[in-house]
Amino acid sequence: GQQVMQIPQYQHVQEGEDFTTYCNSSTTLSNIQWYKQRPGGHPVFLIQLVKSGEVKKQKRLTFQFGEAKKNSSLHITATQTTDVGTYFCVPTNAGKSTFGDGTTLTVKP
Amino acid sequence: DTAVSQTPKYLVTQMGNDKSIKCEQNLGHDTMYWYKQDSKKFLKIMFSYNNKELIINETVPNRFSPKSPDKAHLNLHINSLELGDSAVYFCASSQGRRLNQPQHFGDGTRLSIL
């Protein structure tokens, strides 16, 4: 079955530093979604990547989908305190989506 | 104008009791889900319904029984609550039948078992 690893599990940064979380799959994916969950909140859809090698940007957030469609990354440039939360990748394979374990980001002002 | 609403928001109850959580979405979506999030933030799918039809039923104890009276509602009934059931339960919905569509989540129900 599909094995998905999201790393790191936790990341603590100083405000202004960059942050990256990675999602790696053992199988080729149909697409991948990314969600953000603020502390005490619910997951909120950020973006969906479909094409091999796709790169999408949302302000300071850059999302990439690997050429082989087995991995993806979310990069945040110059983190702010509003970026705190848990970021989940949600790969889709064989028509089924599975939440990764998430990366929890804390930002020190 | 809440898109996905769950009730109650908090649920504190004794071990062995039976309880229900309700979920409603006004987005016109065809597919609804129940997720369990434990204290480590791991988010695990429990059930998924499409137009009142069960399409995902993960390895969940029989004490958990979903019910979908119509495509806008998906309720979760839990019998004989156990300590390990303490978690946050999220309802979600998405468009269409395919399970790879973006999901909209409710605010969650925080269940605590005493």
Torsions phi, psi of A83, nearest 5? -85, -5
The pLDDT confidence band at residue B3, using thresholds 50, 70 and 90, is very high
- Average pLDDT over chain A reads 94
Long-range contacts of B55-60 (CB under 8 A, 24+ apart): B55/B31, B55/B97, B55/B99, B56/A96, B56/B99
Q: What is the pLDDT of residue B52?
A: 84
Indicate whether B32 pLDDT > 80. yes
Q: What is the CA radius of gyration of chain A?
A: 13
Indicate whether A76 pLDDT > 90. yes
Give the pLDDT mean for B88-104.
91
3-state secondary structure of A106: strand
Give the pLDDT mean for A101-105.
96
Q: Are the Cβ atoms of A42 and B41 closer than 8 angstroms?
A: no
Indicate whether B6 pLDDT > 80. yes
The helix (H) or strand (E) run that includes residue B3 is none
Closest residue to B108, CB basis, from A42, A44, A86: A42
Q: What is the pLDDT of residue B57?
A: 82
Give the pLDDT mean for B75-81.
97
Residue labelled with tokens 């990764």 = A100
Q: What is the pLDDT of residues B11-31, one digit of tens each?
A: 999 999 999 999 999 999 999
Residues B113/B89, Cβ–Cβ less than 8 Å = no
Chain B residues interacting with chain A (CB cutoff of 8 angstroms): 35, 41-45, 56, 90, 92, 98-100, 102-108
Residues B99/B33, Cβ–Cβ less than 8 Å = no
Considering Cα of B99, then A45, then B95, then B58, what sign does the dihedral take? Answer: positive
